[in-house]
Amino acid sequence: MKRHVPSYMEEAFIAQGVDVGKLIFAIHTDMTPDGDYSDAYVAVDGESLYILYGEEKIVKTSGARRIVAQYNAERLEVHPLKELGELSTEKLLSTGRMNSKKDDSERVIMLFTLGHLSFVERVIKAVKNINEGVDPLKEILLDDELFCPKCGTRYPEPERKLCPKCIDKMSIAIRLMGFFKFYKKKVALIFTVMLGSTALSILTPYVGTKLFMDEVMTAGGKYFGLITQIVLLMLLVKTVTVGFNILYSYVLARTIPWIIYDLKIRIFEAMQRLSVGFYTSKRTGAPSVPSARR
């Protein structure tokens, strides 16, 4: 039988006397029913739903930034599936609950933060499949790859499998530069004004400090006594610098919105090429690719 139980959870369940060979599906959540934070391992087999509460302690290991957690179990809850009613999730302000409704009574099975809502819903789906006598992992997408195989860094978004350290940043920059091809003159003007503004920013302290103090105010200096002329030069440099900054801001404000507009057009054109089935199979706010499991 196909099963999905992370290896780091198996030892914790074995220590509690649970036959891990019968476990079908397991997830990791983060709260107790009392609202306290805890490392909760939730697993299901053909007969029961197991919730193990405890605390993970991180142990350093050698290798590419991988970590191992040592689990200290506190208590184990066992809920026979035949005693559970219809399972459902309930969203609260920042947390969620798994409820069991049987006959006219309803009780809370577990509490979790909203970030684990999708994982808990998969447990409910697995329990439903078991009760219906079909494949327990039917329509449940599984993916254990949370770390980059090249450098070992954890993916910021596991469903996308993009490592910020290993991604080819140069190719992304080149692709983005392609949107500037229709604005070559304006982009060239932006860089020219930016370089001019930088040069004047470097020149201003020289004129206002070194030249004024060493050559104008110091006896024997090259421009000793020419206070009015140097002050006017300082004013001119400052005026030109401000003018460059204004021109830079103006050209930037006239160019960037059009580039963003082109990006949006490209995105909408790509979305229009997707099938209707793509949109009907997604919930509002859901990612465009299947979510990875913890």
Residue 158 has pLDDT above 70, yes or no: no
Give all strands of the β-sheet with 86-91 in edge-to-edge order: 86-91, 95-102, 105-113
CA pair distance 50, 10, nearest whole angstrom:
12
DSSP character at residue 102? E
CA pair distance 261, 259, nearest whole angstrom:
5
CA pair distance 272, 264, nearest whole angstrom:
12
Highest mean pLDDT: which range of 81-95, 167-181, 222-236: 81-95
Label residue 110 by pLDDT band (50, 70, 90).
very high
pLDDT digits (tens, 9 = 90+) for 120-150: 999 999 999 999 989 988 888 776 566 677 7
Label residue 68 by pLDDT band (50, 70, 90).
low
Is the pLDDT higher at 108 or at 153?
A: 108
pLDDT digits (tens, 9 = 90+) for 33-64: 888 998 999 999 999 999 999 998 876 666 55
Residue 199 has pLDDT above 60, yes or no: yes
Torsion over CA: 109, 113, 114, 118 (sign): negative
CB under 8 Å to 72, separation ≥6 — which residues?
A: 54, 55, 56, 57
CA pair distance 148, 152, nearest whole angstrom:
5
Pull the structure tokens for residue 152.
């070992």
Q: What is the dihedral of CA 141, 145, 146, 149, to 10 degrees?
A: -160
CA pair distance 104, 101, nearest whole angstrom:
7
Longest pairwise C-alpha distance within the chain:
102
Q: Report domain extents, the chain.
A: 7-132, 172-280
Highest mean pLDDT: which range of 7-16, 133-142, 149-158: 7-16
pLDDT at 124: 93
Average of per-residue pLDDT values in the chain: 81
Lowest mean pLDDT among 63-67, 89-93, 236-240: 63-67
pLDDT at 103: 83
Residue 109 has pLDDT above 90, yes or no: yes
Locus of tokens 């990006």: 263
Residue 185 Ramachandran class (φ > 0 left, ψ -120 to 50 alpha, else beta): alpha
pLDDT at 291: 39
CB under 8 Å to 285, separation ≥6 — which residues?
A: none
Q: Which is it for strands 37-44 and 25-31: parallel, antiparallel or unpaired?
A: antiparallel
Consecutive H or E run containing 251: helix 227-272
pLDDT digits (tens, 9 = 90+) for 259-289: 788 888 888 888 888 888 777 766 565 555 4
pLDDT at 214: 67
Q: Burial level of 109, CB count in 10 A (0-12/13-18/19+)? A: buried
> What are 43's strand-pairing partners?
26, 50
pTM of the model: 0.52
| Architecture in CATH of 7-132 | Roll (2.30)
pLDDT at 290: 42
pLDDT digits (tens, 9 = 90+) for 73-105: 999 999 999 989 899 999 988 899 999 998 888
